Structure 1
Amino acid sequence: MQHHHSSGVILLSIVLMNALVVSTQGQLPHRIIDPHWYPGTATWYGNPEGDGSSGGACGYGSLVDVKPLKARVGAVGPVLFMKGEGCGACYKVKCLDNTICSKRAVTVIITDECPGCPSDRTHFDLSGAAFGRMAHNGQNSQLRDRGQLPIIYRRTKCKYPGKNIAFHVNEGSTPFWLSLLVEYEDGDGDIASMHIQEAGSSEWLEMNHLWGANWNIIGGPLRGPFSVKLSTSTGKTLSARDVIPSKWSPKATYTSRLNFFH
């Protein structure tokens, strides 16, 4: 789909500056919480009134089926997915077709990848519920019938009221191979780096990005309780002390007493 950008000759320098911002947005779209809107396209998938993916390429599993993620999930193409580094980020998406769309934006959380989406522009594949919510009242199904839409989007802060950051120990984890998934991260929502600290140690061991929103470390035997330190794409850092107990279990989730302020 072609996108047309209006500009005036007398504002050429401003237009060129905006074009540079948009181009760098395509390369590093999640490095700042940017208040500006950028052009893109959107489609929808799953059931018409559904939540979109069942699980998804970020690895959040059944969390996408329940609030606060329920019906707010979104899949994105490679520009924003970035091999999983974009998982957890939140965006506002607004439809540009005023004949059928309201002025309100829908907030979506990146939980899935759209492998067939274009790589030369920003594309969102939203849940049917989120896509329809952009319509004028009573025109949800008519909007979904349109298929692909021109949209504008911007990064926004993730908000999980009443939730603290939790760490899910992935299935297959052992004292020699430990894999974690981070849940309900306020603010930036994404993870740029992750470290773990063993019981009785002052050293922070760097974890590796495994896939989606999953991180792991190989060593051992690793001794709990474990402290976990997160850094987001904008450089915010949080350390949860002894959040994973010494007698941890695979497939268990351990909730911290902390979250990023927003």
Structure 2
Amino acid sequence: MSPPPPLNPIHSLLLPFFFFTFSLPATSHTSSSSSPPLSSSLSDWHSAHATYYAASDPRDSVGGACGYGDLGKAGYGLATVGLSEALFERGQICGACFELRCVEDLRWCIPGTSVIVTVTNFCAPNYGFTADGGGHCNPPNKHFVLPIESYEKIAIWKAGNMPVQYRRIKCRKEGGIRFTVSGAGIFISVMIGNVAGAGDVTAVKIKGSRTGWLQMGRNWGQNWHINADLKNQPLSFEVTSSDGITITSYNVAPKDWSFGQTFEGKQFET
């Protein structure tokens, strides 16, 4: 089998990413809605296919459609994956974690291995090919595109388009949730990354010292935005994941915060 083509250009809407972590006093509480934690159905193995891409230079920063920017600086490294349209959920699944294993092909699979990856990107359809004739990421295909370094943990690179099994698992992350603040004036955009537990975020609220809790809207991927004057106020965040669990971090950013900074809050339990 011949190697697959490089990953299609993917909605690379990369925001400026400046990584400064401030260790500030922050208190938090967690609460759970009526939604259960990751259900047993999310732990079942399902069938899909996987291909890989290789950066022209391993030092290149790799961004993607979830908005995490430089994945090395964001803490994701090469344990990442781009999903086809059938799995991507228009970006709502960004940050979720999957375990993949190679199946059905004894020539190319590495027996007894699996790889755990975080969703950071989208594999766009290529309608110049049929879904079963080269359009690997076309609907209704369930397809994973991995960095070659992750792909080679479960299969030999010559395999090309490899049958795999996947299952959704809880994410385990080092440190707390990261809030990267960008924008200008009263427009505030917050990229939320390094989320443990379910991994994907479904709702975000922000609070200044002179405001109540303000609902943020999803801009794209895991970038959330609001129009509000929050300058010269310490910022608190309330984050809800897809399993209905909410965690609140108070006073994450200091009063003199500025755009381009990253702050660290509390973390979901795993």
User: TM-score range, shorter-chain basis?
Assistant: 0.7 to 0.9
Label 1:218 to 1:77 Cα distance change in 2 as closer, same or farther (>3 A).
Answer: same
| Matching of residues 44-193 of structure 1 within 5 Å | 44-47=52-55, 54-62=62-70, 64-65=71-72, 68-96=75-103, 97-101=105-109, 102-116=111-125, 117-135=137-155, 143-161=156-174, 163-170=175-182, 173-193=183-203
Q: Deviations over 1:2-60 (max 9, x none)?
A: xxxxxxxxxxxxxxxxxxxxxxxxxxxx9756110011111111249959971111111
1:209 matched to 2:218? The reply is yes
Structure showing greater relative contact order (alpha-carbon pairs closer than 8 Å, 6 or more residues apart): 2
Q: TM-score, normalised by structure 1?
A: 0.77
Moved runs in structure 1, 4+ residues, more than 4 A?
A: 30-33, 48-53
| Matching of residues 210-225 of structure 1 within 5 Å | 210-220=219-229, 224-225=233-234
Q: Which runs of 5+ in 2 are unaligned?
A: 1-36, 126-136
Label 1:104 to 1:50 Cα distance change in 2 as closer, same or farther (>3 A).
Answer: farther
Give the structure with the larger helix fraction.
1
Q: Which runs of 5+ in 1 are unaligned?
A: 1-29, 136-142
Could you tell me which of 250, 256, 259 is aligned with 2:259? 250
CA root-mean-square deviation? 2.3
1-side partners of 2:154 and 2:147: how far apart? Answer: 12
Q: State the match for 1:37 in structure 2.
A: 45
Q: Is the 8 A contact 1:79 1:122 kept in 2?
A: yes
SS at match of 2:159: coil
Q: Deviations over 1:107-145 (max 9, x none)?
A: 11111111121221311011101111103xxxxxxx212
The number of equivalent residue pairs is 220
> Aligned residues: percent identity?
30
1-side partners of 2:253 and 2:87: how far apart? Answer: 31
Q: State the match for 2:237 in structure 1.
A: 228
Q: TM-score, normalised by structure 2?
A: 0.75
Moved more, 100-109 or 83-92: 100-109
Q: Deviations over 1:140-175 (max 9, x none)?
A: xxx2122101111000111113x11121112xx134
